Amino acid sequence: MNESLTADFIANWLKLYCNQSGMQGFVVGVSGGIDSAVTSTLCALTGKDVLLLELPIHQAASQVSRARDHIEWLKGLHSNVQSFSIDLTFSFESLKSSFPDLEANDNTRQLAEANTRARLRMTTLYYVAGMNRMLVAGTGNKIEDFGVGFYTKYGDGGVDISPIADLMKSEVFAIGKFLGVCESILTAAPTDGLWGDDRTDEDQLGASYNDLEWAMHFIASGASEIGLNSAQSTALSIFRKLNAANQHKMLPIPVCIIPDDLRRD
C-alpha cells in the first residue's frame, strides 16, 4: 500500500462528501488508540473544521494521556482543529442508577455496561455534531466493521461516515506511522477502553488482529484448508465464530415484509 497516496485519497474523499452534504466539518471521538488517531488526522487534512472530543468514562490514565497527547499534537499542526474534554463518568453512573436492578451474571452485566458507555459517547458525539452542523466520523477498521463485528451497535457503530472501514488494522498502523502519529499510540496494545480495566482487544477477541486479518484474507481467497497448522486453524475458527455471532450488527436491520394478500380487503 502507498500510504501517502492512500491518505490523500481518503482526505479528498472526506472533503468531497462533506462539501456535498452541506455540513461544516467533522466530529471525532479520540480514545488514545490508533484508529481514532488516524481518523482524526485524516479529517484534519481536509482543511474543514474538526472537533476532537475526549470522552472518558472511568478511563485508564494511560488512555487519557495518549488521547490528550494526540489532541495537542494535531492541534499544533492544524489550525482547523479544536477540542473538548467531556468527562462522562458522572453521567454514566447517574444513568446506571436510574435503571431497574435486574438479575444478571457478572459477564452479562459488564457487557451491558460496556455497550452503554459506547452508546453514551455516541449520543454526546451527535449532540456536538448537531450543534455545529458537522458529521460524526467513524473510527472502525475493516476487521472490526466487516470481519468480526467488534463494535457496539448504535454505539461506536453509529456514525455518519467511515473513512478507514476499508483498511485492515495493519494498514491503519502503517498510515498512522506515515502521518506521524505519536509513538505511544503506535506501540500501545489496541483496546476499546470500555471495561474499566486493562483488557486488550486481543484479550476479548481471543486472537490478534494479524491472525484475524490472515483469516479474513484466507476465507476470501477460497483456498483449501488442507495442510493448515494448528495456529491457522484456530484463527479461522475464531474468525468464523465471531463473524457468525455478530451478523446482527453487520447486516441491515430485518424488516417484516407484509405479503400482498394480507393487504387486500
- In this predicted model, what pLDDT tens digit does every residue of 112-162 receive, in sequence order? 999 999 999 999 999 999 999 999 999 999 999 999 999 999 999 999 999
Q: Cα separations (Å) of 264 from 2, 259, 261? A: 58, 9, 5
Give the Cα separation of 169 and 148 in Å (integer).
Answer: 12
CATH label of the domain that carries residue 161: 3.40.50.620
Does residue 177 form part of some domain? yes
- For position 91, what pLDDT does the model report? 97
Give the residue from 7, 27, 21, 240 showing the smallest Cα distance to 138.
27
Does residue 213 form part of some domain? no
Beta strand segments in the chain, E? 25-29, 49-54, 81-85, 135-136
Q: Residues 45-80: pLDDT tens digits?
A: 999 999 999 999 998 888 899 999 999 999 999 999
Choose the weakest-confidence range: 131-135, 138-142, 170-174, 190-194: 190-194
Proportion of the chain above pLDDT 90, given as a percent: 88
Give the Cα separation of 258 and 15 in Å (integer).
Answer: 41
Give the Cα separation of 41 and 35 in Å (integer).
Answer: 10
Proportion of the chain above pLDDT 70, given as a percent: 100
What is the Cβ-side half-sphere exposure of residue 118, based on CA atoms within 13 angstroms? 22
> Which long-range contacts (C-beta less than 8 Å, at least 24 apart) are formed by 196-200?
196/58, 197/60, 198/60
Does residue 141 form part of some domain? yes
Give the Cα separation of 157 and 149 in Å (integer).
Answer: 9
Does residue 44 form part of some domain? yes
Give the Cα separation of 201 and 43 in Å (integer).
Answer: 25
- For position 28, what pLDDT does the model report? 98
> Which long-range contacts (C-beta less than 8 Å, at least 24 apart) are formed by 120-125?
120/57, 120/88, 120/91, 120/92, 120/95, 121/29, 121/55, 121/57, 121/88, 121/155, 121/156, 122/152, 122/154, 122/155, 122/156, 122/158, 124/53, 124/55, 124/86, 124/88, 125/27, 125/29, 125/53, 125/55
- Taking the whole predicted model, whether its pTM rises above 0.85 is answered as yes
pLDDT at 197 over 80: no
Total tally of structural domains belonging to the chain: 1
pLDDT at 198 over 80: no
Give the Cα separation of 227 and 176 in Å (integer).
Answer: 35
Q: Return the number of other C-beta atoms located less than 10 Å from residue 141's C-beta.
A: 29
Q: Residues 5-52: pLDDT tens digits?
A: 999 999 999 999 999 999 999 999 999 999 999 999 999 999 999 999
pLDDT, mean over the chain: 95
- For position 194, what pLDDT does the model report? 86
pLDDT band at 192 (very low <50, low <70, confident <90, very high): confident
Does residue 124 form part of some domain? yes
Does residue 127 form part of some domain? yes
Residue 154 one-letter amino acid: Y
pLDDT at 176 over 90: yes
pLDDT band at 213 (very low <50, low <70, confident <90, very high): very high
Does residue 209 form part of some domain? no
Does residue 238 form part of some domain? no
Question: Is the Cβ–Cβ distance between 105 and 129 less than 8 Å?
Answer: no
- For position 60, what pLDDT does the model report? 84
What mean pLDDT do residues 218-242 have?
95
Range of the domain at 50: 3-202
Listed in sequence order, the residues at least 6 apart from 141 whose beta carbon sits closer than 8 Å to its beta carbon are: 35, 164, 165, 167, 168, 169, 171, 172
Give the Cα separation of 170 and 193 in Å (integer).
Answer: 20
